[in-house]
Every structure is written in C-alpha cells, then in structure tokens.
Chain A
Amino acid sequence: NAGVTQTPKFQVLKTGQSMTLQCAQDMNHEYMSWYRQDPGMGLRLIHYSVGAGITDQGEVPNGYNVSRSTTEDFPLRLLSAAPSQTSVYFCASRRMTGELFFGEGSRLTVL
C-alpha cells in the first residue's frame, strides 16, 4: 500500500532551470494538492485538483504549473526556478471524509 509517492526526494537546481516534481497516489482519491513548507510559515497551498482535467490555484501559485490528466498523477512544474522557490514540497490526496494523506516530501534547493 504505497499511498502518496513523490519523486525526487532531493533536487538542486540553478536559477532559471526547469523541473517537474512527480506525485502519484494509488487510493483512487479525486482530490489532490501541492503544498510548500517553509520555516515558520507552515504549509501553503500552491495548486489543487478536484479531479482529472480540473485544476485550480491556491495561496501561492506564481511560478508553478500543474496538470491532471489521470486520477493517479498530479505533477508540479517549475518553469524557471528562482531561489525563492527553495522549499520542501508536499503532495497530498484527500479522502472523501476530508483526511489528507501526504507524501514524504521533496526538498528543493535553487542556487
């Protein structure tokens, strides 16, 4: 029972580079989301999706793109990385009861 799987766990980028953080869930949850976690700021919502083909912006969407072509996958794209995007990123899926299930996180450093 894998739950929510995020890759990669660690990544170092140079300013201006692009990359995709992968997220997959095997619980058939319709709802998925991406958060970033920074010291003293808790978890801030980047983007979320209520089902395949539907995405919406959260609190801090600038600099990030998402798509949801399948129920299982919800990748997060950084088109041109900036040092301000250095953070720990968490993907989550949500049960109908409202419980969020999180991946183990992806630690991104942008130099």
Chain B
Amino acid sequence: TQLLEQSPQFLSIQEGENLTVYCNSSSVFSSLQWYRQEPGEGPVLLVTVVTGGEVKKLKRLTFQFGDARKDSSLHITAAQTGDTGLYLCAGPNNDMRFGAGTRLTVKP
C-alpha cells in the first residue's frame, strides 16, 4: 500500500470546470508538497504546505493542508488546457515519498 493515497487516479473535465484532487495518509507529515509533471519531463514543485489547516493559493490553484496534517487537497478553479498533467503529492518519510498521482486531462 502507498504511504500517500491520491484520488481520483484519473480525471477528465472540460475547460472552465472546477475540480478537486486529494492526497490522504494515515500518517502525520511535517509538510506535504504538490508537484505537476508533464509528459516527457520530471515533476516540478508547485507548493509546500507546512502548517495544519494552511491554505495556499497559486493563481487558480488552491492547496489546503488538513488540520491533522494527514491529508491535503488541490482545488483548481476554471481549469484550462494548460493544467493538463500528472499531479503528485509527496511527504517526507526519512526521505521524500510520493503518491501515485492524479492524471488530469482538461479538454477544450
């Protein structure tokens, strides 16, 4: 079983729709990171959340860290085709461990 469970595994939506993806664990993390990966490239860091209950915004992306620091969510408002990619959450556990990711497709 994965240390970090991400859902949904796949998500296909129309441009302009809103969406939320989730990252859950039974373990407490000191921080969680979100990365986006495009085809043929390595993941790129979007944000790090550190404090329980923290909300961070990055343009149309809103990241939340759960109060108990066991889960996190990523909400995208008015999705664009450029948001298409694999979204990965990661947390420190001796080293950095990743969830399996949510593959998002935004159709025009």
Contacts and interface: CB of A to CB of B under 8 A. Distances in A.
Tell whether A and B belong to one assembly: yes
Interface string B8-36: 01000000000000000000000101010
Interface in A34-69: 35, 40-45, 48, 56, 58-59
- Per DSSP, chain A at the interface is strand
Contact of A105 (B6, B42, B48, B95): B42
Interface residues of B, number: 23
- Per DSSP, chain B at the interface is strand
Interface residues of A, number: 24
Contacts, number: 56
A41 B86 CA distance: 12
Contacts of A92: 42
B95 A98 contact: no
29 contacts: A4-B42, A33-B95, A35-B98, A40-B100, A41-B100, A42-B88, A42-B98, A42-B100, A42-B101, A43-B88, A43-B90, A43-B98, A48-B95, A56-B95, A90-B43, A92-B42, A97-B48, A98-B48, A98-B92, A99-B33, A99-B45, A100-B35, A100-B43, A100-B90, A102-B42, A102-B43, A104-B40, A104-B41, A105-B41
Interface of B: 2, 6, 9, 31, 33, 35, 40-45, 48, 88, 90, 92, 95-101
